[in-house]
A and B are shown apart, each in its own frame.
Chain A
């Protein structure tokens, strides 16, 4: 059984690292990195088989960050797992840094594929899942998408493909924080109902609170049991989760914290501790 308090502590640490690296960089995507922290923590510290000392290990599960702008989240979790030194996080977005503004698989271990242009990750995850099946591998593929991202048509092409090829080794997760750069998703271009759409495309859909660690791990376990169809975890989340001054604000989609904001945020996350 999962150690929930350990996972919650790792999630807290992740938030701290994300905010510190974003503040140092002076730009980047705060809101959408924080909203998916709990999901990504559960993946890397509970569910996925992976080896930070051997990033290309054949038997690993694959993670595709389709919402590539949440790169700080991916970098922070890889560093906390030990793929590279935590100090590297401080080079985010600087020239010659392996931590590009959006993930580049050629420059950093642990990144499966370069992402950043929205709508493309699910197709790659499908290809990985097909390839793993051909290789008779038991590895699974996880793909994290943004909710605004599903406005891209390619996502629905890929949704058809995953179902058509019965990719039960694939689990997509939508970080449903309800906000995109220009505002609320339903106002910019209505994406709802997401669950009904994926069900109609032949997916097994699990709806959860994306900040409830117990619900996240239960959903990940359930997805693994589903046969002959892909699974979608539709995770209701809050943009900027964990720091009150950022929560639910579209403004913090693509803006880094100021040093004053960082101080407030760290105080809240550290809950009086240092």
Chain B
């Protein structure tokens, strides 16, 4: 396993470069992929004519012989990625989240997951922060679509530092992984000592009354909301659930035991995503009042991403409002 160790130590050096950076998670992806490519000759990358947007173009420039542009053909891309994986490569397949998970869902289920092919699907442009392109390009269902498939791991990182770490982790884990990234520039959130582990939640602070379980872009909003609520004397915690599957059930139980109210916050439909996963587990194992914040069973629309977050209630202000309305 000499190669893996080498990858680990070299990546650790470069991972620190991503700490404290305000940048889009897709940009972090583009850069860490190049680092991975340098350290592991088995890394190959596929894209479906969106390499400039998904940032895989950086890898393509550095390792043209290991980059495959598949054209606008997501289904073929997923199948080809499976074949590459079955020949011993570690393929990263990228496109927009809606096309990766929607257009090619059955290829992911039948060919990748049912064969347990070692494919990493890293989709960018998840959620409504795609902005002006509107509903056709805003994936609000991708986490649900991936979560339902057996063997699939689903990760929604919050910032550049976490993205870089989860990409490295995915490359070292054997099996299909879905990682959802965003288009918009996001603030640095996670502390320097943060160490991403697949399936492990990260507790910023445990609240005694309210706990906000969030991932992706909503983690920053959750932290802002908790500040306001704590100032108001409502003991509020924040937990990063970047891995939606496998769900960190142990942490979830611990959180539930410390909560009068749990809020889930995600840039996704309230159906099928993080809020659903948390609700499913807790309703069966430790029922606590839960309110899910997300997009309410509707399509997105055009607008600037900041306006859209407000429009759909994906803000710290709305989290605070929901907490006040639901905390007796």
Contact = CB atoms under 8 A, between A and B. Distances in A.
Interface of A: 104-106, 112-117, 120-132, 134-135, 153-154, 157-158, 160-161, 164-165
B155 interface: no
Contact of A124 (B68, B79, B88): B79
A121 B111 CA distance: 8
A106 B116 contact: yes
A125 B83 contact: yes
A235 B196 CA distance: 53
B87 to A, nearest CB: 3
Contacts of A116: 110
29 contacts: A104-B114, A113-B86, A113-B115, A114-B111, A116-B110, A122-B79, A123-B75, A123-B77, A123-B78, A123-B83, A123-B111, A124-B80, A124-B111, A126-B83, A127-B79, A129-B83, A130-B68, A130-B84, A130-B87, A131-B83, A132-B87, A134-B89, A135-B87, A157-B76, A158-B79, A160-B71, A160-B76, A161-B70, A161-B73
Contacts, number: 109
Given A106-B114, A123-B82, A132-B87, 17 more contacts: A106-B115, A112-B86, A113-B115, A114-B110, A114-B111, A114-B115, A123-B77, A123-B83, A127-B82, A129-B83, A130-B83, A131-B89, A154-B73, A157-B73, A160-B73, A161-B70, A161-B76
Interface string B48-85: 00000000000000000110101101011111111111
Given A116-B110, A123-B78, A134-B65, A128 B71 contact: no
Nearest to A153: B75
Contact of A154 (B66, B71, B107): B107
Interface in B100-141: 106-107, 110-111, 114-117
Given A154-B107, A160-B73, A165-B68, A130 B80 contact: yes
Contacts of B85: 127
A111 to B, nearest CB: 9
Contacts of A105: 115
Main secondary structure of the interface of A (DSSP, over half): helix
Query: Shortest 6 CB-CB distances between A and B: which pairs?
Result: A127-B83, A123-B79, A131-B87, A157-B76, A157-B73, A127-B80
